[in-house]
Chain A
Amino acid sequence: DTGVSQDPRHKITKRGQNVTFRCDPISEHNRLYWYRQTLGQGPEFLTYFQNEAQLEKSRLLSDRFSAERPKGSFSTLEIQRTEQGDSAMYLCASSSRGQGIREKLFFGSGTQLSVL
């Protein structure tokens, strides 16, 4: 497999601007997850898609955040009116539906967001 890819790798923006990140999961994976990781902390769950349906959202995902997965393929995460507290590494992960391997998440390298 070609792995999970995320774009861009780095994003620097000014406070109040909107940003959008893209994630391309492993092609046959039906589940897609977004996590956020801040310096010195482990990843924190944001949201989860099964195919094109967004099935769960964390309370961390404020109204300024929106995620989509049209047609159950790639996903986008948009942050509107960015705040300095949004600065973090945004991680995407995917997993297969296969028995015995569903629990194994494959992570991308992440998008590092810096809000000035």
Chain B
Amino acid sequence: AQSVAQPEDQVNVAEGNPLTVKCTYSVSGNPYLFWYVQYPNRGLQFLLKYITGDNLVKGSYGFEAEFNKSQTSFHLKKPSALVSDSALYFCAVRDRGSTLGRLYFGRGTQLTVWP
């Protein structure tokens, strides 16, 4: 079985401060891991993915995520938050043996960055 947990429904951070959005996963095999962002009235947008190689993955808009196999985590980070980063963030996983594009999403974390 594959699943994703995003333990925080909401994360609040001041502009300019670092942000972290947490994600842990469960798969039977080796994971492919993803972060997507959803702005109001817009479709989900791809931020970054971990497939293989370097555990630190860099993505769009200055975001990065670190794959930690021992902790089964894939936390999203950004060194300096912007007000425009405020959105709903989803972590997703798929087992390498499963269908390409068949992702299991977490419930999402609402990020609010205040000025």
Which A positions have Cβ atoms within 8 angstroms of B?
Answer: 3-4, 31, 33, 40-45, 48, 55-56, 91, 93, 95, 102-110
Q: Cβ of B44: which chain A residues have Cβ within 8 Å of it? A: 43, 91, 93, 105, 107
**Are B107 and A40 interface neighbours, CB within 8 A?**
yes
Which B positions have Cβ atoms within 8 angstroms of A?
Answer: 4, 32, 34, 36, 41-46, 49, 51, 90, 92, 99-108
Q: In the docked arrangement, what's the CA distance between A95 and B13, Å?
A: 33
Known: A104-B49, A109-B41. A43 touches B102 (CB 8 A): no
CB distance from A44 to the nearest CB of B (A): 7
**Are B105 and A105 interface neighbours, CB within 8 A?**
no
Q: Cβ of A48: which chain B residues have Cβ within 8 Å of it? A: 99, 101-102
Q: Cβ of A43: which chain B residues have Cβ within 8 Å of it? A: 44, 90, 103, 105
**Are A55 and B46 interface neighbours, CB within 8 A?**
no
CB distance from B100 to the nearest CB of A (A): 6
CB distance from B105 to the nearest CB of A (A): 3
Q: Cβ of B36: which chain A residues have Cβ within 8 Å of it? A: 105, 107
Q: Cβ of A33: which chain B residues have Cβ within 8 Å of it? A: 101-102
